[in-house]
Structure 1
């Protein structure tokens, strides 16, 4: 007959041997056999009770030892004993797996591991002889002291704390023991600590410093949880931080003088980043976004109010630069402070669109600004050039009236391309390419055609050089670069042809022969007003100079030669096509400097002291002694023959240069920068009149041999800008009508509101549509019987 008590005693002895680490004498095969026999014979319950009794006794012994521990070693020894205890439980669970699977699980008893944890709580943490929970309270107190010291900046043994917390979390699978005994105390003390710290910070520091410190609190508390607390505590500690550092002080933070507005105005990128990060935690993103928008609008409107029309181009230049800087600043906030938040990006773009389109100033002035900056690219690095081009596009893409911008930009681009100096073609093409990306398909068509014309002209130049050598004597050849341009592409005025000197005329005629030998069906129209000439300036018994002048200035100067035809010209640049006089503007001068120079030049030229000095020079040179000869033909012939003096009217008759451009060219030649000619008789100090008399400045001196003659700036006048607006408005009317027809052809019948909406959407990429203009075009199409109207509905008439 089977005797279970014998096997139970054997099992008991073997377990005690395991507890005493005397496993070398244990026969595990025999142990497994007896466990199996007891289970299969129905004595599993007795076996379970024996094991629990042994565990209980062993745990009580551990409790007695823990009660004697000193504070210095308490946590470390507790951790050591716990690890030994949990190791024992794992070993017993493995040995008694058969008991577990066949009895414990079936009976729904606590597993040996869980039973051992319960004993640890009951007999070790809660104590036997000591008052209830004294050991547990002591353990929690020691942990909290260490955490408090760490918050003050002292070093702590994080590994030791982590092991102690791990013990508390491992005591039950639900972690309720950890949460109810330790976490509750930890959160309560943390809340008191956070409240005190937040009150102190908000009272003694600026918003930026406060936010920076709060970020540090979030980082440190998060790191603390990750290092040695349970992860379930993280969300709870974060909520306490949000409550005491943010929600509680939110009203104060919003109203602080060093708050959001101060940070935006003073470029406090890091502080704004902290504000964004923290405000997002407490659902204050909308407030932040609204105030970000307000700041953009306030600053943008202030900048746009500075535009002064054409009266102060210097101010307009600086205003656009301010706008570019503002966009760059807010882009910086978006990237570095607001984490490229799509909502903030949309807010920024939407409000910059509103700002830039408050009036037409940007569409009109940005092309001039780009022109000015491109002319100064010589000393810029590739990175600086790329950044500069991107800044142009950053503003351009927000312009609603891109068709107006296009009209002005084409003018300035043509002027740069026709210049013989500093053409940054690669950069120009890059800008045009970026325009194309940020506008409609054929926006850059004319610009691209300009580049094609310039490239084709280079090929013509090579062929013409060969032709010149074959057809002309070497002493008659003027090295000449000709640009062949399409009149429909280039925004250049048509100016009546002037009378070139014989040698120049022969070279022009020779080029016509060359060109028509290839293209007999095409007619060349010369526009020499856009040309640039390198002209030798010889003074008797003095050194020679090389003047870089416009073709108009060349024609004027050659009239002062002894023999008109013997002009010594080094390089002449002549242009074919519809040219604009503004191409004669000095490429390397800042527009603002030009304006100031022009004013100073007139003052210097017309001043009383200069006049007296010139009169003295006239006497010394024995020139123009008899002014009474001015009004009779014989006197004119005598004056012109002896001293080469001409009135403005006489030069106009000799050259056929239109008076407007003649006066501008003469002003450049007599300016304080040039002084090539002298005005020896005049009535108006500030303006050149038709009766003013000029002669060569025979006492001209310069430290430089090569001299660029400053050209009086001839930018868009208000009248020309008005003409452009008339042209743009007509183009808009045509486009609107074509879109109306396109929509109505497709829909056949459409209500008024839907037609307006669809047409507006179609033209929006080119300009901001005016509802009144669309209404007018609809009425015009009705009058011309393209549409009919009944009630509030339109019908297309095929």
Structure 2
């Protein structure tokens, strides 16, 4: 009985020498004319019995002795060749069983069975011929008997007759895999796996060479055919997916196929084929087609991102976000590019495209019936910024759920938003649609801070959940998108000044013990640096000084038993915006060279404060000017209906004081309505000296506006004319005891002047921005030149952009102008031979 051992099993020969174990053996080994044919006949019969699975009657010891003797007597070569021929003949006979197999599954079963039986036979044969392997094969550097059997199986079963069986096997496997790829359930999975494992063992051996092992049948024959067939299949499949004309369906179908295919290749194929097939599949299904699918108008990237834009201004009936499609898109592109360049490019384009539509959506959602331009501007700023911030939140949600929180994608999302936020004013030729993000943010913050300082509880504020912290967080988030931060600083400083100067008291900014202005300014300084907001910080210092001075003055007035209260706003004109303080010295004279006159009721208090201001020599080096165009006055006026506490602007209060009752000759004070005073427009202008435009708009506020008609205008009309007569309105009534008179905009007749004033203020802010940029660019040029001494033009430009990009985006033209300016001022000079080379002048 021949033991069934492994291919490399070590079977020890008999302990006693086979040559001397018997007399017959001794005669045969010492006989130089040993009968090779007789011994071979016994071995050949044994090999045939092994191949026919009939090994029960075979004696391993006898067979081993026969082979041992033949090798010992130098018949190893003939024995080796005869064994090969015997195996070869057996394999040729077995081929017919394979060729007569009917179905694919039957063929694969037969082939696997023949292969397994052949390997088992070769193990037994190798054990019998172990001495041949150890001596002859090793010396002659030939294939081991087992390896010879594998080689012969390849040559006379698989590749015989021009690879007849091999081709049939390959075609059957490809057909079975194609069925599986098409969604048909197959039962031949294990057969395919075993046949491919067989192909890997069929090594390309060169019998005439010292090199015994090379590439196998799978690598040389099967894999190229399989990859070519797969390429054809993938091409056809990708066309069918594209023909769906739906990006969503394409993503889902492609993703599912890739998942199934990866499971197939892991089950069937060796690891060496995995990357080759995956690359082929990714290139055809993804790389060649994905961009076309992204750009599809029907369920492409724009469609997947559309709910983000559509839901921004909705309170209900929200469209579902396409997180799943975007996640599939991300993973598919990740298979072909770890940097996601295509996805980043298309995402940026889509986000910018959506962002440019956002202002129009906001305008459409606003009340188109409102005629107040300022109100519309504030409403737009609020809605637009809140929409942008909500858009950011939605994109962050997509980034988290669909893009695996990839920091590269996050950077792309934020840069895209930054681009559309900062490029509105560049994309439109008309001023109506242009948006200055820096100014809009300042308007938004101005409106929200005013609302917080009012302690409002309106439905709008409640619905937005606004608070000081929320305002600061929103503002900082939006500020980080703004490129021209210097422009924001200028606009914020202007609005900051207006809030204080137009506020009712110098304690403006405090709510429930919290100084909102201080809190906002502190957070802005943390974000931008104190040097950037130096002007606002100094203005805030003036506000604190005003509060302290008011408190000190109030204490002084209490001791003096004075009834009139004075709340002070003291500003250093060199710090505050010039548009607000430029005519502070000309308050006493208006444009018609008419002297402004403080009413007698206020003159005494003004003089007292001036005496207080200069007392103790603490303000001897300062000049004091009064500006009636800012601030407000609280007046208590008794009408026939009731007594009202009315808050008016200083100019409006001065007009009303003209109608205050005076002392009669008998020393009795009559009622203002008893005196029945009335003044013409010309008389009011002469008595007050208020500038024409300001006088008209304030008369409109107290005599024309329906809710604050403190005076009666004769004749009643919207316009204020020089012949109009004004008197107290005896029928004035208000549902509230406290009345605030809002100053109306100038009438249509004065709109041109109003626009001119508004444009002048805008020009002043822009001029301040431009002046500041010139200074910053000059300073940056000098810093670079001083450190490097000699710099080329392009290097200087690159250095300037790098240094200034956190503040603003300097234009090439402006940088060249500043370079020329510094050359003229002899801070640097051009090289005599190279005009693109600059030298620093020490």
TM-score interval, normalised by the smaller of the two chains: 0.5 to 0.7
Does residue 396 in structure 1 map to residue 482 in structure 2?
Answer: yes
Q: Among 528, 534, 549, which residue is 1:436 paired with?
A: 528
CA shift for structure 1 position 179:
3.7
Distance 1:426 1:225 in 2: 66
For the Cα contact (< 8 Å) 1:667–1:688, is it kept in 2? Answer: no
- Could you give the per-residue CA deviations for residues 51-108 of structure 1, whole angstroms, max 9, x where no partner exists? x99x979x98999999999877887898899899989999999999999999977764
Deviations 1:377-430 (A, max 9, x none): 844347975774356325422x3xx54443222101333466447775477347
Is 1:247–1:282's contact at 8 Å kept on the other side of the alignment? Answer: no
Distance 1:510 1:148 in 2: 98
Q: 2:535 maps to which residue? A: 446
Once residues 453 and 534 of structure 1 are traced to their aligned partners in structure 2, the CA distance between those partners, rounded to angstroms, is 23
User: Is 1:722 matched up with 2:822?
Assistant: no
Shift of 1:366: 3.0
Aligned residue runs from structure 1 range 12-27, under 5 A: none
Cα deviation, 1:300-321, whole Å, max 9, x if unaligned, reads 9999999x9x989947985997
* Distance in 2 separating the partners of 1:552 and 1:84: 113
Q: Pick which of 104-113 and 322-331 moved more.
A: 322-331
Alignment deviations for residues 266-310 of structure 1 (CA, whole Å, 9 cap, x no partner): 57894798499559959999999888888889889999999x9x9
CA–CA distance in structure 2, aligned partners of residues 758 and 248 of structure 1: 40
Deviations 1:417-473 (A, max 9, x none): 664477754773476247617xxx722222344455556766777x65993696254
Q: 1:776 to 1:682 in 2, by over 3 A?
A: farther
Distance (whole Å) between structure 2 residues aligned to residue 330 and residue 533 of structure 1? 45
TM-aligned CA distance change 1:698 to 1:178, over 3 Å:
same
- Deviation of the 1:687 alpha carbon: 4.4
Partner of 1:232: 272
Deviation for aligned residue 1:717: 0.8
Q: Which residue in 2 is equivalent to 1:712? A: 744
- Structure 2 contact 828–838 (Cα < 8 Å) conserved: no
The 1:356/1:227 distance shift into structure 2, 3 A limit, reads: farther
CA distance in 2, matches of 1:252, 1:654: 77
Distance 2:639 2:122 in 1: 115
Change (3 A) 1:362 1:99: farther
**TM-score of the aligned structures, taking structure 2 as reference length:** 0.59
- Give me the whole-angstrom Cα distance separating, in 2, the residues matched to 1:45 and 1:426: 103
Matches of residues 93-104 of structure 1 in structure 2 within 5 Å? none
Q: Cα gap change, 1:503/1:100 in structure 2, threshold over 3 Å: closer, same or farther?
A: farther
Matches within 5 A, 1:188-227: 188-206=228-246, 209-210=249-250, 213-227=253-267
Question: Deviations for 1:589-609, whole angstroms, at most 9, x for unmatched residues?
Answer: xxxxxxxxxxxxxxxxxxxxx
Equivalent residue pairs, number: 703
What's the C-alpha RMSD, in Å, of the aligned pairs?
A: 7.0
Cα distance in 1, alignment partners of residues 573 and 232 from structure 2: 82
Partner of 1:593: none
Spell out the pairing of 1:166-315 with structure 2 (5 A cutoff): 166-169=197-200, 172=203, 176-180=216-220, 182-206=222-246, 209-210=249-250, 213-238=253-278, 240-241=280-281, 245=285, 258=298, 270=325, 274=329, 281=336, 314=376
User: Could you say which residue in structure 2 is the equivalent of 1:604?
Assistant: none
Cα distance change on mapping 1:254 and 1:722 into 2, 3 Å: closer
1:777 aligns with 2:810: no
Deviation at 1:639, TM superposition (A): 9.0
Q: Check whether the contact 1:454–1:483 (CA below 8 A) recurs between aligned residues.
A: yes
1:540 aligns with 2:573: no
Match of 1:491 in 2: 577
CA distance in 2, matches of 1:132, 1:751: 72
Correspondence for 1:471 = 559
For the residue of structure 2 that corresponds to 1:680, the secondary structure is strand
Q: Secondary structure of 1:396's partner?
A: coil
TM (normalized to structure 1)? Answer: 0.62
Instruction: Say if 1:447 and 1:466 are closer, same or farther in 2 by CA, change over 3 A.
Output: closer
What CA distance in whole angstroms lies between the structure 2 residues aligned with 1:99 and 1:477? 128
**2:750 aligned residue:** none
Q: Deviations over 1:485-506 (max 9, x none)?
A: 5544432623438747858975
Residue ranges of structure 2 left out of the alignment (5+ in a row): 1-15, 26-38, 204-212, 308-321, 364-371, 453-460, 589-596, 664-669, 746-753
1:150-208 per-residue CA deviation (whole Å, 9 max, x = no partner) reads 33334556677555544544555876322455434543443443343334344452456
Residues 516 and 195 of structure 1: is their aligned pair in 2 closer, same or farther, counting only changes over 3 Å? same
Tell me, in whole angstroms, the C-alpha distance in 1 between the residues paired with 2:831 and 2:227: 75
CA shift in 2, pair 1:149/1:456, >3 Å: farther
Instruction: Report Cα offsets for 1:696-738 as digits up to 9, x if no partner.
Output: 4633233x55554433368961122334444555555555666
Equivalent residue number for residue 599 of structure 1 = none
User: Structure 2: how far apart are the matches of 1:778 and 1:414?
Assistant: 34
Q: Any idea what SS the aligned residue of 1:232 has? A: coil
Asked if the contact 1:221–1:237 (Cα under 8 Å) also holds between the matched residues in 2, the reply is: no
Change (3 A) 1:675 1:81: farther
Q: In 1, are the aligned partners of 2:294 and 2:301 still within 8 Å (CA)?
A: no
CA radius of gyration, larger in: 2
